A and B are shown apart, each in its own frame.
Chain A
Amino acid sequence: MKPPPFAYAAPATLDEAVGLLTEHAEAEPRVLAGGQSLIPLMNFRLAKPGYLVDLRNVAGLSGIRREGDVLVIGAMTTLSQLERSPEVAVAAPLLAEAVGQVAHAPVRNRGTIGGSLAHADPAADLPAVALAAGAELVAAGPAGSRRIPAAEFFRGPFSTALAPEEILTEIRLPLSSGGHAYVKFSRIHANFAVVGVAALTELDDDRIRRASLAVAGVAPTAIRATAAEQVLTGTLAADVAATAAEAARAGVAGLAPAGDLHASPETRLALARTYLRRGIELAVSRARNER
């Protein structure tokens, strides 16, 4: 399973990288970050980019910093770096919890947050986190830089709002307060999610002021479970045992996920209900504990 031939460059600047994507557009170029998703596809010869633009030498694309109420993460920051970052643990515990469940350490050592989000695998964990957290994705292109809300970023399986010449440079995560949970069901430990749920809940006294829930595995992309959020908002944390179940049911109503050899549509809906409920309960209990 050897990859097909491609032209390759490892430019030193972002402008050069964008320029190469533009210049070689007819070769169907791809950006190479950690390669943990792209190279397997190339080994299977399911992806055959004619040109690979490697971002490894582009300065300034990795790193974690605070900008007021926002955690700014460079797209080339590896998942291992995120896992070990004290800043992420404090400012984005939802991300920290999710990253630890993405594949295994060797994959996290090279895989990047930007690569994972730009790849947009429907079974991936981080798109759901980006949705729940209300992240902004910063993309650099020939016309300059723009910010894309997560809600507009994921278009379909392996398909995002990025134009072919655009490169993801930063992920901007609003700081969350309250409780968080990332829970997922996979068949084998740390495998891709059959379903995954990212949950953020904020409490006002004991009332749920805000809930942000995203689900992976029940649609062509990760989705916000807005119906579930509406059920939860305004309810008492003390009643979460009942409200979480109701919210979960609302959250999957009307969904028609595709089935595969791991789970039928009916099973995916059942798992999504279960994990929505568990995610909500865990996030709320953490929110209560923090008060």
Chain B
Amino acid sequence: MATDTRTISLTVNGQPVVAEVEPRRLLVDFLREDLGLVGAHIGCEHGVCGTCTVLLNGASTHSCITLAVQADGADISTVEGLADGGELHPLQDEFSAKQGLQCGYCTPGMLMRAREILTRNPDPSPAEVREAIASNLCRCTGYQFITEAVLAAAARMRATREVVP
């Protein structure tokens, strides 16, 4: 069985990347092992838990059921690109302030999903946040403090106009 490699060119957290990958290589493994970006996690490898969530062209994506070759030409954002140097992004800061994390395993995926949610809906109601984050499982928090964190971050992001209603 031919397992040749393909060259892919993409942008990851604003940086251009060119790499050779086997067609079957999952995007999550490419990010974690080839690029050392271990923030995206592996939880199920069948697209249910969301711990692998990254943004692909701004859209939240399960990187465990995406092939790296499908990301050719794409713009990928991972949690490693959220903080600005030493300063936490409001989402990260509010997750800490509200204790929206316990084991932290779902957190990078939640943060990236929250980023997309707030970009599309900058002033969500608590119910809207809950429905939107239903795509990402959390086994520790029961979602309550995550919801609070997202709402608090949204207010800050509106204030700085990072998201505009």
Contacts and interface: CB of A to CB of B under 8 A. Distances in A.
A7 B67 contact: no
A220 to B, nearest CB: 23
Given A35-B67, A35-B70, A50-B1, A6 B61 contact: no
Contacts of A80: 59
Interface string B60-72: 1110111101101
A58 interface: no
Nearest to B117: A105
A143 interface: no
A2 B26 CA distance: 8
A104 B64 contact: no
A1 B132 contact: no
A43 B69 contact: no
Contact of A39 (B1, B59, B66, B132): B66
A10 B6 CA distance: 11
B69 A109 contact: no
A163 to B, nearest CB: 24
Secondary structure type dominating chain B contacts: mixed
Contact of A10 (B46, B50, B69): B69
B134 interface: yes
Interface in A90-130: 104-107, 109-110
Interface string A1-45: 111111110100000000000000000000010011001101110
Nearest to B6: A8
Contact of B135 (A7, A32, A106): A106
A20 to B, nearest CB: 14
A73 B59 CA distance: 21
Interface string A204-247: 00000000000000000000000000000000000000000000
A52 B23 contact: yes
Please indicate which of the listed interface residues B65, B66, B67, B134 has the most CB atoms of chain A within 10 Å of its own CB.
B65
Contacts of A1: 45-46
B24 A5 contact: yes
A26 to B, nearest CB: 12
A110 B61 contact: yes
A5 B22 CA distance: 9
B115 interface: no
Interface residues of B, number: 33
Given A36-B65, A109-B61, A54 B135 contact: no
A105 B60 contact: yes
A54 B59 contact: no
Contacts of B72: 10
A43 B50 contact: no
A104 B113 CA distance: 11
Contact of B23 (A6, A44, A110): A6
Contacts of A8: 6, 23-24, 69
A35 B134 contact: no
A190 interface: yes
Contacts of A4: 24
A106 B69 contact: no
Given A40-B47, A43-B46, A44-B46, A105 B65 contact: no
Contacts of A42: 24
Contact of A106 (B6, B24, B29, B60): B60
Contact of A5 (B1, B26, B65, B116): B1
B103 interface: no
Interface of B: 1-4, 6, 22-24, 26, 29, 45-47, 50, 53, 56, 59-62, 64-67, 69-70, 72, 113, 116, 131-132, 134-135
> What are the 7 A-B residue pairs with the smallest beta carbon separation, nearest first?
A104-B135, A8-B23, A109-B59, A40-B46, A1-B45, A39-B65, A5-B3
24 contacts: A5-B24, A7-B4, A10-B72, A35-B65, A35-B67, A39-B66, A43-B26, A43-B45, A44-B46, A54-B69, A54-B70, A104-B50, A105-B60, A105-B116, A106-B53, A106-B59, A106-B61, A106-B62, A106-B113, A106-B135, A107-B62, A110-B56, A110-B61, A110-B66
Interface of A: 1-8, 10, 32, 35-36, 39-40, 42-44, 50, 52, 54, 56, 80, 104-107, 109-110, 189-190
